[in-house]
A and B are shown apart, each in its own frame.
Chain A
Protein backbone atom coordinates (compact mmCIF):
# COMPACT_ATOMS: atom_id res chain seq x y z
CA UNK A 1 0.00 0.00 0.00
CA UNK A 2 1.68 3.19 -1.21
CA UNK A 3 0.95 6.90 -1.53
CA UNK A 4 2.72 9.45 -3.73
CA UNK A 5 1.86 13.11 -3.72
CA UNK A 6 2.42 16.71 -2.76
CA UNK A 7 2.80 17.54 0.90
CA UNK A 8 0.77 19.92 3.06
CA UNK A 9 2.64 20.62 6.26
CA UNK A 10 1.09 21.40 9.68
CA UNK A 11 2.42 21.85 13.23
CA UNK A 12 2.31 20.10 16.63
CA UNK A 13 -0.62 19.31 18.94
CA UNK A 14 -3.37 20.12 16.44
CA UNK A 15 -6.75 19.25 17.97
CA UNK A 16 -9.63 17.72 16.00
CA UNK A 17 -11.53 20.95 16.76
CA UNK A 18 -9.11 22.69 14.40
CA UNK A 19 -9.57 20.03 11.73
CA UNK A 20 -13.38 20.31 11.86
CA UNK A 21 -14.83 22.98 14.14
CA UNK A 22 -17.30 21.60 16.70
CA UNK A 23 -20.08 23.85 15.43
CA UNK A 24 -19.85 22.15 12.05
CA UNK A 25 -20.05 18.65 13.52
CA UNK A 26 -23.72 18.27 12.69
CA UNK A 27 -23.38 19.62 9.16
CA UNK A 28 -22.92 17.69 5.95
CA UNK A 29 -19.61 16.07 5.01
CA UNK A 30 -19.43 18.46 2.02
CA UNK A 31 -19.53 21.40 4.43
CA UNK A 32 -16.94 19.88 6.77
CA UNK A 33 -14.65 19.10 3.84
CA UNK A 34 -15.06 22.65 2.49
CA UNK A 35 -13.71 24.08 5.77
CA UNK A 36 -11.30 21.37 6.85
CA UNK A 37 -8.21 22.83 8.59
CA UNK A 38 -9.07 26.30 7.29
CA UNK A 39 -8.16 27.98 10.61
CA UNK A 40 -4.58 26.78 10.21
CA UNK A 41 -4.23 27.11 6.44
CA UNK A 42 -7.11 28.73 4.53
CA UNK A 43 -5.67 27.45 1.22
CA UNK A 44 -5.83 23.81 2.28
CA UNK A 45 -9.54 23.08 1.73
CA UNK A 46 -9.51 25.10 -1.50
CA UNK A 47 -6.38 23.68 -3.11
CA UNK A 48 -5.80 20.18 -1.72
CA UNK A 49 -5.88 17.56 -4.49
CA UNK A 50 -6.66 13.84 -4.34
CA UNK A 51 -3.45 11.95 -3.64
CA UNK A 52 -1.82 14.81 -1.68
CA UNK A 53 -0.14 13.91 1.60
CA UNK A 54 -0.69 15.65 4.92
CA UNK A 55 2.35 15.97 7.17
CA UNK A 56 1.99 17.09 10.78
CA UNK A 57 3.95 17.21 14.01
CA UNK A 58 3.46 15.62 17.41
CA UNK A 59 0.16 14.46 18.92
CA UNK A 60 -1.80 15.21 15.75
CA UNK A 61 -5.58 14.99 16.13
CA UNK A 62 -5.73 15.44 19.89
CA UNK A 63 -8.93 16.37 21.75
CA UNK A 64 -12.40 15.13 20.72
CA UNK A 65 -12.40 11.67 19.18
CA UNK A 66 -15.13 12.18 16.62
CA UNK A 67 -14.31 10.31 13.45
CA UNK A 68 -15.59 13.25 11.41
CA UNK A 69 -12.13 14.86 11.65
CA UNK A 70 -10.33 12.06 9.74
CA UNK A 71 -13.43 11.59 7.57
CA UNK A 72 -13.26 15.23 6.46
CA UNK A 73 -9.55 14.75 5.66
CA UNK A 74 -10.38 11.55 3.80
CA UNK A 75 -13.06 13.41 1.83
CA UNK A 76 -10.35 15.61 0.29
CA UNK A 77 -8.84 12.48 -1.26
CA UNK A 78 -5.60 12.60 0.76
CA UNK A 79 -3.38 9.63 -0.06
CA UNK A 80 -1.91 9.39 3.43
CA UNK A 81 -1.32 11.24 6.67
CA UNK A 82 2.29 11.23 7.96
CA UNK A 83 2.93 12.51 11.48
CA UNK A 84 5.62 12.72 14.15
CA UNK A 85 3.04 11.11 16.43
CA UNK A 86 -0.76 10.88 16.56
CA UNK A 87 -3.31 11.18 19.34
CA UNK A 88 -4.56 7.65 19.89
CA UNK A 89 -8.24 8.22 19.13
CA UNK A 90 -7.32 9.94 15.90
CA UNK A 91 -4.91 7.12 15.06
CA UNK A 92 -7.58 4.49 15.71
CA UNK A 93 -10.19 6.43 13.75
CA UNK A 94 -7.95 6.75 10.67
CA UNK A 95 -7.60 2.97 10.35
CA UNK A 96 -11.25 2.39 11.23
CA UNK A 97 -12.37 4.58 8.33
CA UNK A 98 -9.65 3.37 5.94
CA UNK A 99 -7.37 6.44 5.83
CA UNK A 100 -3.67 5.40 5.83
CA UNK A 101 -1.59 6.98 8.59
CA UNK A 102 2.15 6.58 9.08
CA UNK A 103 3.98 7.59 12.26
CA UNK A 104 7.37 8.87 11.12
CA UNK A 105 9.51 10.59 13.78
CA UNK A 106 11.70 13.28 12.22
CA UNK A 107 9.39 13.93 9.26
CA UNK A 108 8.71 17.60 9.97
CA UNK A 109 12.39 18.52 9.90
CA UNK A 110 12.86 16.90 6.50
CA UNK A 111 9.92 18.17 4.50
CA UNK A 112 8.73 21.55 3.30
CA UNK A 113 5.27 22.57 2.19
CA UNK A 114 4.83 21.40 -1.40
CA UNK A 115 7.52 18.68 -1.37
CA UNK A 116 6.58 15.52 -3.22
CA UNK A 117 6.68 12.44 -0.98
CA UNK A 118 6.52 8.71 -1.56
CA UNK A 119 5.05 6.81 1.38
CA UNK A 120 5.07 3.05 1.90
CA UNK A 121 2.28 2.55 4.42
CA UNK A 122 3.24 -1.03 5.23
CA UNK A 123 6.94 -0.50 5.99
CA UNK A 124 6.62 3.12 7.13
CA UNK A 125 9.32 4.31 4.69
CA UNK A 126 8.98 7.89 3.47
CA UNK A 127 11.07 9.38 0.64
CA UNK A 128 11.35 13.12 -0.01
CA UNK A 129 11.88 13.60 -3.77
CA UNK A 130 13.45 17.08 -3.61
CA UNK A 131 16.27 16.08 -1.23
CA UNK A 132 16.28 12.35 -1.73
CA UNK A 133 16.00 11.99 2.07
CA UNK A 134 14.71 8.60 3.14
CA UNK A 135 13.01 8.31 6.52
CA UNK A 136 12.12 5.17 8.37
CA UNK A 137 8.72 5.48 9.96
CA UNK A 138 6.95 2.88 12.05
CA UNK A 139 5.85 -0.34 10.37
CA UNK A 140 2.05 -0.62 10.29
CA UNK A 141 0.71 -3.47 12.40
CA UNK A 142 -0.66 -6.28 10.16
CA UNK A 143 -3.97 -6.10 12.02
CA UNK A 144 -4.34 -2.44 11.06
CA UNK A 145 -3.10 -3.06 7.53
CA UNK A 146 -5.88 -5.64 7.10
CA UNK A 147 -8.32 -3.04 8.33
CA UNK A 148 -7.11 -0.51 5.75
CA UNK A 149 -7.32 -3.10 2.99
CA UNK A 150 -10.87 -4.01 4.03
CA UNK A 151 -11.81 -0.31 3.87
CA UNK A 152 -12.19 0.15 7.63
CA UNK A 153 -13.63 -1.64 10.63
CA UNK A 154 -17.23 -1.97 9.50
CA UNK A 155 -16.57 -4.67 6.86
CA UNK A 156 -14.27 -6.50 9.31
CA UNK A 157 -16.31 -6.31 12.51
CA UNK A 158 -18.27 -9.55 12.18
CA UNK A 159 -15.12 -11.52 11.53
CA UNK A 160 -13.32 -9.88 14.47
CA UNK A 161 -16.27 -10.63 16.74
CA UNK A 162 -16.00 -14.27 15.69
CA UNK A 163 -19.45 -14.35 14.17
CA UNK A 164 -18.84 -14.27 10.44
CA UNK A 165 -16.27 -15.86 8.19
CA UNK A 166 -15.24 -12.67 6.40
Chain B
Protein backbone atom coordinates (compact mmCIF):
# COMPACT_ATOMS: atom_id res chain seq x y z
CA UNK B 1 0.00 0.00 0.00
CA UNK B 2 1.06 3.59 -0.42
CA UNK B 3 1.05 6.16 2.37
CA UNK B 4 -2.58 7.31 2.07
CA UNK B 5 -3.82 3.73 1.81
CA UNK B 6 -1.87 2.81 4.95
CA UNK B 7 -3.21 5.81 6.84
CA UNK B 8 -6.81 5.17 5.75
CA UNK B 9 -6.53 1.46 6.59
CA UNK B 10 -5.24 2.22 10.06
CA UNK B 11 -7.83 4.96 10.68
CA UNK B 12 -10.70 2.72 9.59
CA UNK B 13 -9.52 -0.32 11.56
CA UNK B 14 -8.69 -2.46 8.53
CA UNK B 15 -5.57 -4.33 7.55
CA UNK B 16 -5.86 -3.21 3.93
CA UNK B 17 -7.80 -0.83 1.69
CA UNK B 18 -7.87 -0.55 -2.09
CA UNK B 19 -8.65 2.32 -4.45
CA UNK B 20 -12.37 2.80 -5.05
CA UNK B 21 -13.49 1.45 -1.67
CA UNK B 22 -15.47 3.68 0.66
CA UNK B 23 -14.17 3.73 4.22
CA UNK B 24 -15.24 5.49 7.41
CA UNK B 25 -12.10 6.71 9.14
CA UNK B 26 -11.25 8.30 12.48
CA UNK B 27 -10.30 11.95 12.10
CA UNK B 28 -7.34 13.26 14.10
CA UNK B 29 -7.64 16.95 13.34
CA UNK B 30 -10.36 19.25 11.97
CA UNK B 31 -9.14 22.69 10.87
CA UNK B 32 -11.66 25.49 10.46
CA UNK B 33 -11.16 29.15 9.64
CA UNK B 34 -13.33 32.10 10.62
CA UNK B 35 -15.46 31.86 7.47
CA UNK B 36 -15.88 28.12 6.97
CA UNK B 37 -15.97 27.64 10.73
CA UNK B 38 -18.94 29.97 10.98
CA UNK B 39 -20.85 28.13 8.24
CA UNK B 40 -20.01 24.78 9.84
CA UNK B 41 -20.97 25.89 13.35
CA UNK B 42 -24.40 27.02 12.14
CA UNK B 43 -25.09 23.63 10.58
CA UNK B 44 -23.77 21.81 13.68
CA UNK B 45 -25.92 23.72 16.15
CA UNK B 46 -29.05 24.20 14.04
CA UNK B 47 -29.31 20.96 12.10
CA UNK B 48 -27.15 18.35 13.86
CA UNK B 49 -27.67 19.29 17.53
CA UNK B 50 -25.35 16.69 19.07
CA UNK B 51 -22.40 17.10 21.46
CA UNK B 52 -18.88 17.78 20.14
CA UNK B 53 -17.25 14.35 20.50
CA UNK B 54 -13.55 15.28 20.52
CA UNK B 55 -13.19 19.04 21.09
CA UNK B 56 -9.44 18.66 21.49
CA UNK B 57 -9.16 17.63 17.82
CA UNK B 58 -10.99 20.71 16.50
CA UNK B 59 -9.02 23.87 15.75
CA UNK B 60 -10.45 27.19 14.59
CA UNK B 61 -8.15 29.93 13.29
CA UNK B 62 -9.32 33.45 12.49
CA UNK B 63 -7.15 34.05 9.45
CA UNK B 64 -9.43 35.78 6.95
CA UNK B 65 -9.96 38.60 9.46
CA UNK B 66 -7.08 40.15 11.35
CA UNK B 67 -9.47 42.89 12.44
CA UNK B 68 -13.13 42.91 11.37
CA UNK B 69 -13.95 45.88 9.08
CA UNK B 70 -17.73 45.82 9.62
CA UNK B 71 -20.12 45.22 12.49
CA UNK B 72 -21.55 42.19 10.67
CA UNK B 73 -18.10 40.61 10.43
CA UNK B 74 -17.35 41.47 14.08
CA UNK B 75 -20.58 39.68 14.97
CA UNK B 76 -19.49 36.57 13.04
CA UNK B 77 -16.22 36.46 14.98
CA UNK B 78 -18.04 36.91 18.30
CA UNK B 79 -20.36 34.04 17.43
CA UNK B 80 -17.34 31.92 16.51
CA UNK B 81 -15.70 32.72 19.86
CA UNK B 82 -18.87 31.80 21.73
CA UNK B 83 -19.11 28.57 19.70
CA UNK B 84 -15.50 27.71 20.57
CA UNK B 85 -16.17 28.33 24.28
CA UNK B 86 -19.43 26.35 24.30
CA UNK B 87 -17.77 23.31 22.79
CA UNK B 88 -14.26 23.62 24.21
CA UNK B 89 -12.43 23.60 20.85
CA UNK B 90 -9.09 25.33 20.22
CA UNK B 91 -9.33 28.92 19.04
CA UNK B 92 -6.60 31.08 17.51
CA UNK B 93 -7.90 34.63 17.32
CA UNK B 94 -7.15 37.50 14.91
CA UNK B 95 -3.45 38.06 14.28
CA UNK B 96 -2.39 34.42 14.76
CA UNK B 97 -1.59 33.72 11.11
CA UNK B 98 -2.77 31.54 8.24
CA UNK B 99 -4.89 28.53 9.22
CA UNK B 100 -2.51 25.91 7.83
CA UNK B 101 0.65 27.47 9.21
CA UNK B 102 -0.96 27.87 12.64
CA UNK B 103 -2.13 24.25 12.55
CA UNK B 104 1.38 23.00 11.80
CA UNK B 105 3.22 25.34 14.13
CA UNK B 106 1.03 24.37 17.07
CA UNK B 107 1.60 20.67 16.60
CA UNK B 108 -1.90 19.71 15.44
CA UNK B 109 -0.62 18.18 12.20
CA UNK B 110 1.44 15.02 12.65
CA UNK B 111 2.64 12.38 10.17
CA UNK B 112 0.42 9.33 9.79
CA UNK B 113 -2.79 11.10 10.81
CA UNK B 114 -6.07 12.05 9.13
CA UNK B 115 -6.48 15.82 8.80
CA UNK B 116 -9.63 17.41 7.38
CA UNK B 117 -10.79 20.98 6.99
CA UNK B 118 -13.28 23.23 5.29
CA UNK B 119 -10.52 25.18 3.65
CA UNK B 120 -10.06 23.65 0.23
CA UNK B 121 -6.26 23.88 0.55
CA UNK B 122 -6.28 21.49 3.52
CA UNK B 123 -4.50 18.85 1.35
CA UNK B 124 -1.34 20.91 1.91
CA UNK B 125 -0.81 18.87 5.11
CA UNK B 126 0.09 15.87 2.98
CA UNK B 127 3.49 17.62 3.01
CA UNK B 128 4.03 16.13 6.49
CA UNK B 129 2.95 12.62 5.53
CA UNK B 130 -0.71 12.97 6.53
CA UNK B 131 -3.82 11.97 4.69
CA UNK B 132 -5.30 15.46 4.41
CA UNK B 133 -8.44 16.42 2.51
CA UNK B 134 -10.85 19.29 2.28
CA UNK B 135 -14.44 18.32 3.06
CA UNK B 136 -17.67 20.29 3.09
CA UNK B 137 -19.55 21.89 5.96
CA UNK B 138 -22.01 19.02 6.19
CA UNK B 139 -19.24 16.41 6.56
CA UNK B 140 -17.70 18.38 9.39
CA UNK B 141 -20.89 19.35 11.15
CA UNK B 142 -22.72 16.08 10.49
CA UNK B 143 -20.02 13.50 11.05
CA UNK B 144 -16.63 14.82 12.19
CA UNK B 145 -17.90 16.94 15.08
CA UNK B 146 -20.46 14.51 16.55
CA UNK B 147 -18.67 11.21 15.77
CA UNK B 148 -15.00 12.04 15.13
CA UNK B 149 -15.21 10.28 11.77
CA UNK B 150 -15.49 10.97 8.04
CA UNK B 151 -16.24 8.88 4.97
CA UNK B 152 -13.73 8.69 2.12
CA UNK B 153 -13.45 6.91 -1.18
CA UNK B 154 -9.89 5.58 -1.29
CA UNK B 155 -8.31 7.47 -4.21
CA UNK B 156 -6.29 6.15 -7.12
CA UNK B 157 -2.74 7.45 -6.90
CA UNK B 158 -0.62 9.28 -9.45
CA UNK B 159 3.07 9.50 -8.65
CA UNK B 160 4.55 12.85 -9.69
CA UNK B 161 8.28 12.30 -10.03
CA UNK B 162 10.28 15.53 -10.11
CA UNK B 163 13.90 15.74 -11.12
CA UNK B 164 16.45 18.43 -11.95
CA UNK B 165 17.67 21.64 -10.38
CA UNK B 166 16.65 25.15 -11.28
CA UNK B 167 18.86 28.15 -11.84
CA UNK B 168 19.14 31.16 -9.53
CA UNK B 169 16.00 33.29 -9.54
CA UNK B 170 13.79 30.28 -10.18
CA UNK B 171 12.13 28.92 -7.06
CA UNK B 172 10.07 25.93 -5.92
CA UNK B 173 6.95 28.09 -6.32
CA UNK B 174 7.77 28.51 -10.01
CA UNK B 175 8.03 24.73 -10.27
CA UNK B 176 4.68 24.29 -8.50
CA UNK B 177 2.94 26.88 -10.71
CA UNK B 178 4.39 25.30 -13.82
CA UNK B 179 3.29 21.87 -12.65
CA UNK B 180 -0.26 23.20 -12.15
CA UNK B 181 -0.26 24.24 -15.81
CA UNK B 182 1.23 20.91 -16.90
CA UNK B 183 -1.29 18.76 -15.04
CA UNK B 184 -4.06 21.26 -15.78
CA UNK B 185 -7.13 22.30 -13.82
CA UNK B 186 -9.09 19.15 -13.28
CA UNK B 187 -6.22 17.15 -14.78
CA UNK B 188 -6.05 14.85 -11.76
CA UNK B 189 -9.69 14.65 -10.64
CA UNK B 190 -10.31 12.58 -7.50
CA UNK B 191 -6.74 11.26 -7.42
CA UNK B 192 -4.06 11.25 -4.74
CA UNK B 193 -0.85 12.89 -5.97
CA UNK B 194 2.32 11.38 -4.57
CA UNK B 195 5.09 13.98 -4.97
CA UNK B 196 8.45 12.25 -5.09
CA UNK B 197 11.83 12.14 -6.74
CA UNK B 198 15.23 13.72 -6.06
CA UNK B 199 13.96 17.28 -6.52
CA UNK B 200 11.35 16.88 -3.76
CA UNK B 201 13.74 15.00 -1.46
CA UNK B 202 16.28 17.82 -1.67
CA UNK B 203 13.78 20.51 -0.69
CA UNK B 204 13.30 21.72 2.87
CA UNK B 205 9.84 21.13 4.33
CA UNK B 206 8.45 24.65 3.83
CA UNK B 207 9.39 24.44 0.13
CA UNK B 208 7.90 20.94 -0.22
CA UNK B 209 4.70 22.57 1.13
CA UNK B 210 4.12 24.32 -2.22
CA UNK B 211 3.44 21.01 -4.01
CA UNK B 212 0.62 19.38 -2.02
CA UNK B 213 -0.80 22.93 -1.98
CA UNK B 214 -1.65 22.71 -5.70
CA UNK B 215 -3.50 19.40 -5.52
CA UNK B 216 -7.00 20.82 -5.04
CA UNK B 217 -6.62 23.11 -8.02
CA UNK B 218 -5.72 20.29 -10.39
CA UNK B 219 -8.79 18.49 -9.07
CA UNK B 220 -7.03 15.94 -6.87
CA UNK B 221 -8.41 14.74 -3.56
CA UNK B 222 -5.10 14.92 -1.74
CA UNK B 223 -1.38 15.11 -2.22
CA UNK B 224 1.40 13.68 -0.11
CA UNK B 225 5.13 13.31 0.33
CA UNK B 226 6.55 10.27 2.10
CA UNK B 227 7.98 11.56 5.38
CA UNK B 228 11.73 11.32 5.95
CA UNK B 229 14.25 12.55 8.52
CA UNK B 230 13.62 16.15 7.51
CA UNK B 231 9.90 15.70 8.18
CA UNK B 232 10.57 14.02 11.52
CA UNK B 233 12.89 16.79 12.68
CA UNK B 234 10.47 19.47 11.41
CA UNK B 235 7.40 18.10 13.20
CA UNK B 236 9.35 17.44 16.42
CA UNK B 237 10.02 21.18 16.64
CA UNK B 238 6.31 21.82 17.12
CA UNK B 239 5.03 18.91 19.19
CA UNK B 240 6.15 16.53 21.89
CA UNK B 241 3.28 14.16 20.99
CA UNK B 242 4.44 10.87 19.50
CA UNK B 243 3.64 10.15 15.85
CA UNK B 244 4.02 7.22 13.54
CA UNK B 245 6.04 7.80 10.38
CA UNK B 246 4.60 5.58 7.64
CA UNK B 247 5.91 5.45 4.09
CA UNK B 248 4.68 4.03 0.80
CA UNK B 249 5.85 0.47 0.17
CA UNK B 250 7.21 1.13 -3.31
CA UNK B 251 6.77 3.25 -6.39
CA UNK B 252 4.80 0.41 -7.93
CA UNK B 253 1.85 1.23 -5.69
CA UNK B 254 0.87 4.17 -7.92
CA UNK B 255 -1.45 3.34 -10.81
CA UNK B 256 0.32 5.93 -12.95
CA UNK B 257 3.62 7.84 -12.85
CA UNK B 258 4.29 11.17 -14.51
CA UNK B 259 7.86 12.45 -14.62
CA UNK B 260 8.86 16.09 -14.94
CA UNK B 261 12.31 17.65 -15.23
CA UNK B 262 12.40 21.24 -14.02
CA UNK B 263 16.00 22.02 -15.09
CA UNK B 264 15.07 24.37 -17.94
CA UNK B 265 12.37 26.16 -15.99
CA UNK B 266 12.00 29.95 -16.12
CA UNK B 267 10.14 31.99 -13.49
CA UNK B 268 6.41 31.38 -13.97
CA UNK B 269 3.23 33.40 -13.51
CA UNK B 270 -0.38 32.22 -13.41
CA UNK B 271 -2.50 35.00 -14.90
CA UNK B 272 -6.24 35.58 -14.44
CA UNK B 273 -8.73 34.13 -15.07
CA UNK B 274 -7.55 30.70 -13.87
CA UNK B 275 -4.66 28.89 -12.26
CA UNK B 276 -4.03 26.79 -15.32
CA UNK B 277 -3.19 29.95 -17.28
CA UNK B 278 0.54 29.64 -16.53
CA UNK B 279 3.22 31.43 -18.55
CA UNK B 280 6.91 32.23 -18.19
CA UNK B 281 7.10 35.72 -16.62
CA UNK B 282 8.93 36.87 -19.74
CA UNK B 283 5.82 36.37 -21.88
CA UNK B 284 3.81 38.74 -19.70
CA UNK B 285 6.63 41.11 -18.75
CA UNK B 286 5.54 44.73 -18.89
CA UNK B 287 1.97 44.19 -17.69
CA UNK B 288 1.24 46.96 -15.18
CA UNK B 289 0.64 46.11 -11.53
CA UNK B 290 -0.47 48.44 -8.74
CA UNK B 291 -0.39 45.92 -5.90
CA UNK B 292 2.15 43.36 -4.77
CA UNK B 293 1.69 40.94 -1.90
CA UNK B 294 3.53 38.24 -0.01
CA UNK B 295 0.91 36.19 1.79
CA UNK B 296 -1.64 33.41 1.59
CA UNK B 297 -1.61 29.67 2.25
CA UNK B 298 1.74 29.17 0.57
CA UNK B 299 3.17 32.68 0.88
CA UNK B 300 4.23 34.83 3.82
CA UNK B 301 6.85 32.25 4.80
CA UNK B 302 10.25 33.41 6.03
CA UNK B 303 11.59 31.99 2.75
CA UNK B 304 9.35 34.39 0.79
CA UNK B 305 10.36 37.37 2.87
CA UNK B 306 14.05 36.55 2.43
CA UNK B 307 13.60 36.15 -1.34
CA UNK B 308 11.92 39.55 -1.54
CA UNK B 309 14.59 41.14 0.63
CA UNK B 310 17.33 39.86 -1.66
CA UNK B 311 15.79 41.94 -4.45
CA UNK B 312 14.54 44.93 -2.46
CA UNK B 313 17.79 45.46 -0.50
CA UNK B 314 19.04 48.93 -1.46
CA UNK B 315 16.07 49.49 -3.80
CA UNK B 316 12.64 51.13 -3.60
CA UNK B 317 9.35 49.89 -4.95
CA UNK B 318 8.00 51.91 -7.89
CA UNK B 319 5.80 54.98 -7.45
CA UNK B 320 2.17 53.95 -7.44
CA UNK B 321 2.87 50.40 -6.24
CA UNK B 322 1.57 49.23 -2.85
CA UNK B 323 3.42 46.20 -1.46
CA UNK B 324 1.65 44.25 1.33
CA UNK B 325 3.73 41.87 3.40
CA UNK B 326 1.61 39.42 5.36
CA UNK B 327 3.52 36.94 7.56
CA UNK B 328 1.97 33.48 7.67
CA UNK B 329 2.41 33.25 11.45
CA UNK B 330 3.58 35.23 14.45
CA UNK B 331 6.73 33.10 14.50
CA UNK B 332 7.57 34.22 10.96
CA UNK B 333 7.11 37.86 11.93
CA UNK B 334 9.38 37.36 14.95
CA UNK B 335 11.97 35.70 12.72
CA UNK B 336 11.76 38.54 10.20
CA UNK B 337 12.31 41.05 13.03
CA UNK B 338 15.31 39.10 14.24
CA UNK B 339 16.86 38.96 10.76
CA UNK B 340 16.33 42.69 10.21
CA UNK B 341 13.95 42.01 7.33
CA UNK B 342 11.06 44.01 8.76
CA UNK B 343 13.13 47.18 8.69
CA UNK B 344 14.62 46.39 5.27
CA UNK B 345 11.31 45.79 3.55
CA UNK B 346 9.78 48.81 5.28
CA UNK B 347 12.64 50.98 4.03
CA UNK B 348 12.00 49.72 0.49
CA UNK B 349 8.41 50.97 0.76
CA UNK B 350 6.56 47.81 1.81
CA UNK B 351 3.70 47.82 4.33
CA UNK B 352 3.58 45.10 6.99
CA UNK B 353 0.23 43.56 7.78
CA UNK B 354 -0.74 41.37 10.74
CA UNK B 355 -0.15 37.61 10.50
CA UNK B 356 -3.21 36.28 8.63
CA UNK B 357 -4.12 34.88 5.24
CA UNK B 358 -3.88 38.38 3.74
CA UNK B 359 -5.88 39.29 0.66
CA UNK B 360 -7.25 35.78 0.12
CA UNK B 361 -10.83 36.48 -1.04
CA UNK B 362 -10.56 40.11 0.05
CA UNK B 363 -12.51 39.49 3.26
CA UNK B 364 -10.34 41.81 5.27
CA UNK B 365 -8.05 43.48 2.70
CA UNK B 366 -7.00 43.28 -0.91
CA UNK B 367 -10.08 44.36 -2.87
CA UNK B 368 -9.28 45.91 -6.26
CA UNK B 369 -11.08 48.19 -8.69
CA UNK B 370 -11.68 47.02 -12.25
CA UNK B 371 -8.57 48.78 -13.54
CA UNK B 372 -6.17 47.36 -10.96
CA UNK B 373 -3.84 44.37 -10.95
CA UNK B 374 -1.93 42.52 -8.24
CA UNK B 375 1.04 40.18 -8.33
CA UNK B 376 1.16 37.92 -5.31
CA UNK B 377 2.17 34.61 -3.78
CA UNK B 378 -1.48 33.69 -3.28
CA UNK B 379 -2.91 30.39 -4.37
CA UNK B 380 -5.81 31.56 -6.56
CA UNK B 381 -6.57 34.14 -9.23
CA UNK B 382 -10.25 33.64 -10.14
CA UNK B 383 -12.22 36.74 -11.23
CA UNK B 384 -14.09 38.44 -8.41
CA UNK B 385 -11.99 36.92 -5.62
CA UNK B 386 -10.34 40.28 -5.02
CA UNK B 387 -12.99 42.88 -5.70
CA UNK B 388 -13.90 43.60 -9.29
CA UNK B 389 -14.27 40.65 -11.64
CA UNK B 390 -12.21 42.73 -14.12
CA UNK B 391 -9.27 43.18 -11.74
CA UNK B 392 -6.30 40.97 -12.59
CA UNK B 393 -4.37 38.72 -10.24
CA UNK B 394 -0.97 37.31 -11.21
CA UNK B 395 0.49 34.54 -9.06
CA UNK B 396 4.25 34.17 -8.85
CA UNK B 397 7.21 33.59 -6.59
CA UNK B 398 8.24 36.09 -3.93
CA UNK B 399 11.18 37.01 -6.17
CA UNK B 400 8.85 37.77 -9.07
CA UNK B 401 6.54 39.74 -6.76
CA UNK B 402 9.44 41.84 -5.46
CA UNK B 403 11.02 42.41 -8.89
CA UNK B 404 7.64 43.43 -10.30
CA UNK B 405 7.06 45.83 -7.41
CA UNK B 406 10.36 47.57 -8.14
CA UNK B 407 9.46 48.10 -11.80
CA UNK B 408 5.68 48.58 -11.40
CA UNK B 409 5.15 45.90 -14.03
CA UNK B 410 5.58 42.16 -14.25
CA UNK B 411 9.30 41.50 -14.26
CA UNK B 412 11.55 38.46 -14.49
CA UNK B 413 13.45 38.49 -11.15
CA UNK B 414 16.62 37.21 -12.80
CA UNK B 415 17.17 40.80 -14.01
CA UNK B 416 18.01 41.64 -10.39
CA UNK B 417 19.95 38.54 -9.48
CA UNK B 418 22.61 38.43 -12.16
Contacts and interface: CB of A to CB of B under 8 A. Distances in A.
B189 A26 contact: no
Contacts of B43: 154
A62 B143 contact: no
B217 interface: yes
A153 B138 contact: yes
A82 interface: no
Contact of A17 (B185, B220, B221, B382): B382
A2 interface: no
Interface residues of B, number: 49
Best-buried of A21, A22, A39 by chain B (most CB within 10 Å): A22
Contacts of B221: 88
A13 interface: yes
B155 to A, nearest CB: 9
Given A154-B48, A163-B147, A23 B219 contact: no
B149 A161 contact: yes
B186 A93 contact: no
Contact of B219 (A21, A87, A143, A157): A87
A13 B274 contact: yes
A39 B389 contact: yes
B186 A154 contact: no
B363 interface: yes
A62 B147 contact: no
Nearest to A64: B120
Contact of A26 (B35, B138, B276, B383): B35
Interface string A66-101: 111000000000000000011111001100110000
A96 B185 contact: no
A66 B382 contact: no
B135 A26 contact: no
Interface string B147-174: 1110100000000000000000000000
Contacts of A67: 39, 136-138
Contacts of B217: 62-63
A21 B324 CA distance: 23
B97 to A, nearest CB: 20
B398 to A, nearest CB: 23
Contact of A89 (B136, B147, B385, B389): B136
10 contacts: A17-B384, A65-B134, A65-B136, A67-B138, A68-B137, A89-B120, A89-B135, A92-B135, A96-B139, A157-B48
Interface of A: 13, 15, 17-18, 21-23, 25-26, 39, 58-59, 62-68, 85-89, 92-93, 96-97, 141, 143, 152-154, 157-158, 160-163
Interface of B: 22, 24, 35-36, 38-39, 43, 47-48, 72-73, 76, 118-120, 134-139, 141-143, 146-149, 151, 185-186, 189-190, 216-217, 219-221, 274, 276, 361-363, 380, 382-385, 389
Given A153-B139, A160-B143, A161-B147, 12 more contacts: A21-B384, A26-B72, A26-B73, A59-B186, A62-B185, A62-B217, A67-B39, A85-B219, A96-B139, A153-B142, A154-B47, A161-B146
- 8 shortest A-B CB distances, which residue pairs? A59-B186, A161-B147, A93-B136, A154-B142, A22-B361, A67-B136, A96-B138, A157-B143
